Structure 1
Amino acid sequence: MHAAADALGNPVYVHFSGGQEADGKHFERIIESLPTEVKAVVGDKGYDTNAVVERMEEHEAEVVVPSKKNCTTERVIDKNLYQDRNKVERFS
């Protein structure tokens, strides 16, 4: 299941896929479902791809996704916002 939730943890989008499919592969559907006033997109390392990060930046949203271990430049993220990622996980 791929889901997006608002800052309070309320679902705004849910999408189902095969169990072994990568998260980033479904990101386009997720970001297209978000309201235009989204200020930040929070996700786990599964969303740390160039395509996903560029798409978030095009949407003018802050990227709150930790860098994968093999990334040459570590992204600095807002740790308080990143802790809110559990709201989506608790919803799903």
Structure 2
Amino acid sequence: RGAHRRALGRSRGGFTSKLHCLADARGRPVAFHLTVGEAADCKAYDTLIALPERAPKALLADKGYDADAIRTDLAHRNIQAVIPGRSNRRIKIEHDRALYRERNHIERFFGRLKINRAIATRYDQLAESFLSMVHIAAARYWLKFVHAA
């Protein structure tokens, strides 16, 4: 009854949601996708990979996106997969560690995003209103780069 409109899911900490972000090489957000808290990270891959106009050269993601289907899809698209393998993987897959360090840009962006208290604690009940708050905060973040140019 309305749980799909809220994008809230039950987890160990209570009701939560996950915010997935597609960003450029400098860590500037391009697109967002909101999922319920108990959903796997790799479920957001199809939505996010279809969004950019230009295909990226590499996809930097954490272990939550380590799936054979994702790696196969990236190979078909000629995109380098910079995803560390999960610890329970039978065949270890190497990744470019130097390039993976660049993923800290997106982590720092999420830190800046959570400066806004309404986003950090998720005051908004509906997914649409929460995502609109995220978009406003992202626009404020983008203004720094536009002003510098």
TM-score normalised by the chain length of structure 1? 0.90
Whether 1:36 and 2:54 are equivalent positions in the alignment is yes
In terms of Rg, which structure is larger? 2
Task: State the alpha-carbon separation in 2 of the partners of residues 16 and 59 from structure 1.
Answer: 24
Give the aligned partner of residue 143 of structure 2.
Answer: none
The whole-number CA distance in structure 2 between the counterparts of 1:35 and 1:80 is 26
Matched, 1:26 2:39: no
1:58 match: 76
Moved more, 39-48 or 74-83: 74-83
Residues 30-55 of structure 1, C-alpha deviation per residue, up to 9 Å, x if partnerless? Answer: 11113433110011110111111112
The list of structure 1 runs, each at least 4 consecutive aligned residues, that deviate by more than 3 angstroms after superposition, is none
Consecutive unaligned residues of structure 2, counting only runs of 5 or more, are 1-18, 111-149
Picking from 24, 31, 53, the partner of 1:6 is 24
Q: RMSD value over aligned CA atoms? A: 1.3
Distance 1:34 1:23 in 2: 19
Higher relative contact order (CA 8 A, sep 6+): 1
Match of 1:48 in 2: 66
For residues 54 and 71 of structure 2, the distance between their equivalents in structure 1, rounded to whole angstroms, comes to 17
| Matched AA of 2:55 | E
Q: Going by fraction, where is helix more abundant, 1 or 2?
A: 2
Q: Is the 8 A contact 1:36 1:59 kept in 2?
A: no
Question: What SS does structure 2 have at the residue aligned with 1:15?
Answer: strand
Residue 90 in 1 paired to residue 124 in 2?
A: no
- Percent of paired sites with the same residue: 35
Q: Secondary structure at the match of 2:59?
A: strand
